[in-house]
A and B are shown apart, each in its own frame.
Chain A
Amino acid sequence: MVSEQEYREVEAFIFKEARYADESAYDDWEALWEDDAKYWVPTSPDADTEVDISHIFDNRSRIATRIRQLKSGFRHSQTPCSPMRRIISNIEISPLNEHEYEVAANFMLMELAVQSTRDMNLWGGAINYRLRRVEGELRLFYKKIMLVDADEPIANLAFLI
């Protein structure tokens, strides 16, 4: 169990993370991550990264490369950035240990592919976050996004999901 105060604090953090992603606020988003980061979009719920391919499986240095590429001005698949808004809901928070939390949530994201087709893409699924308290501040060290259609043909996923 987490206290009401902890719940609100964790919730505020994941809403902030969602807003940074929605607004392609790359530096702010990257600054949320710890060094042992895992940013993961698997293709199935029981995927094993030792043997299975994922859409995205970034460690901290790959997150940095991803952000450098997005900021280069030539990431044509995100130039201009997709207008996006996402809803994070069904939040369940549990403590992992004294200073870490596991958060499960659902999400829905509307993304407009203004760089090419101008399709309004609907993305949705489950998210697992892991947060760590470092010197009083919450930090992100794990985010797994299990898309409902992860194993189906999907459009470009070059934005921050």
Chain B
Amino acid sequence: MTGRPKATAYENLIFKEKVHGSLYTDPAIFQEEMDTIFHKGWVFVGHTSEVPNIGDFSRRFIGRQPIIITRDRDDNVNLLLNRCSHRGNLLCTRASGNASTFTCPYHGWSFGLDGGMRGMPMKVAMGDAFKPSEMGLAKVPRVGIHRGFIFASLAKDGMSFDDYLGDAKVLLDRAADLSPEGEITISAGWLKHRFKANWKMLPENNTDGYHVGSTHLSMLLATGVANSGAFNEEMGDPSVIRDWGGGHTELDFAPRYRESGRPFQWFGGTRPEKLPNYVAAMEAAYGKQETAKRFVDGPPHAIIFPNLFLAELNITYFYPVSPNEVIQYYTPLLLKGAPEMNKRAIRQTEGAMGPGSFLLPEDAAMAERNQLGLEAQYPEWLDLRRGLDREAVDAENGLLTSAVSDETTNRAFWRHYLTLMSEAKSAS
């Protein structure tokens, strides 16, 4: 018997047509989410291109726990918990850099990039049982890498990485396949944005097509695309939303792009003549026909549960801080072997993503207002019925699919959340 309160009965809080307000505000639920989703389950932590050279490191979190991604002398990528094995000092304080060892300033113990203990002052008094080889940094027990995207689980056992990604693997592929070398690069740095809101509002919002016309109206007006019918199936937008299972969701614009068949509608409508080397490299790698298809369809707009958002040519992820706070990160998705694309991609990310951009400040303001509104206890439930009567399994791929403004993706998120949180409850 522990002092923890009885685990929450999630089945009474989550239904397909509604979810309970306390899910966003209750500190006990937040703690159970950290234990189950972030400190056991698979989460996104970074990309191998962020530590390209031996000795490179980058600080991250898994849920609330600080870690370091390193590339060691044998060219292996390691995920180490950022805690000195002596008495717990935060070992690495720099956000990123290159080092040969990490030395703890408290008593001077030092560690290699693989986490192994390298040295300490005055070893004698430690006693015979003390073995430096056993005093390395703790390692994240399970690491999964697909197309350079690094995911981690702090649990020794549990669902395999393959089962976790499931079919949604192809969403990561679709991003990497826009590079003539089949690889994306993260190297432009991360923008960091503080939302005074519950973390779940981010994955819920990021594949929500319904909010765009209202939340982002100022951007649509300022850039002259208001009333274009985008995100509005009643005005003919054929884009769809899709439930990939496992909490992974997608807002697919390709059906809209295919109507005109013009390339690069996801890249400001840039004409291919402006990107001659990129076009040539892609055609050489994948052939003319396949390249043309990729240039029309574009990159994915999708959530990999719980914290990675493939936002077309942006990569976004987040860390929960508390029931009322989450930090969202943004960087441009750069394509290896496509320098013509990358400088423009940086400018495109600045326009759309981040606290000073034309899009995300509205999402942050709406999330914060949602959080404030949920302080009111009634009407208790958040309504999620939109599209419930018209969503259907797409015969082509077997995935639940619906119109662009439907809440199918929100329901997909919550269905998976309920599965995870209920399994954790029955296991405890």
Contacts and interface: CB of A to CB of B under 8 A. Distances in A.
Given A52-B189, A53-B189, 6 more contacts: A53-B346, A57-B350, A68-B221, A69-B218, A75-B362, A155-B355
26 contacts: A51-B188, A52-B189, A53-B190, A53-B330, A56-B357, A62-B351, A65-B222, A66-B222, A69-B218, A69-B221, A72-B221, A74-B218, A75-B362, A76-B365, A78-B361, A116-B365, A116-B368, A119-B196, A153-B192, A153-B193, A153-B194, A153-B327, A154-B355, A157-B361, A158-B355, A158-B356
Interface string A54-85: 11110000100110111011111110000000
Nearest to B351: A62
Contacts of A73: 218
A51 B346 contact: yes
B18 to A, nearest CB: 25
Contact of A155 (B194, B217, B218): B194
B361 A156 contact: yes
B422 interface: no
Interface of B: 95, 187-194, 196, 215, 217-219, 221-223, 327, 330-332, 343, 346-347, 349-351, 354-358, 361-362, 364-366, 368-369, 372
A116 B372 CA distance: 8
Given A76-B218, A116-B365, A157-B355, A53 B223 contact: no
A106 interface: no
Contacts of A76: 215, 218, 362, 365-366
A156 B358 contact: no
A4 interface: no
Contact of A50 (B218, B219, B343, B355): B343
Contacts of B330: 53
A72 B362 contact: no
Contacts of B95: 151
Nearest to B353: A53
Query: Which one of A53, A75, A115, A161 has the greatest number of beta carbons of chain B within 10 Å?
Result: A53
A116 B366 CA distance: 8
Given A52-B346, A66-B358, A69-B358, A115 B365 contact: yes
A116 B356 contact: no
A24 interface: no
A91 to B, nearest CB: 24
B196 A117 contact: yes
A41 interface: yes
A114 to B, nearest CB: 11
A128 interface: no
A77 B361 contact: yes
A152 interface: yes
A57 B191 contact: no
Interface string A34-60: 000000010110010111111111000
A70 B372 CA distance: 24
Nearest to A39: B356
A102 to B, nearest CB: 23
B222 A77 contact: no
A155 B196 CA distance: 9
Contacts of A52: 188-189, 346
A152 B355 contact: no
A154 B217 contact: no
Interface in A95-147: 115-117, 119
B365 A77 contact: yes
Given A117-B368, A119-B196, A153-B194, A57 B355 contact: no
Nearest to A156: B361
Contacts of B372: 116-117
A47 B366 CA distance: 31
Contact of B187 (A47, A49, A51, A153): A51
B222 A69 contact: yes
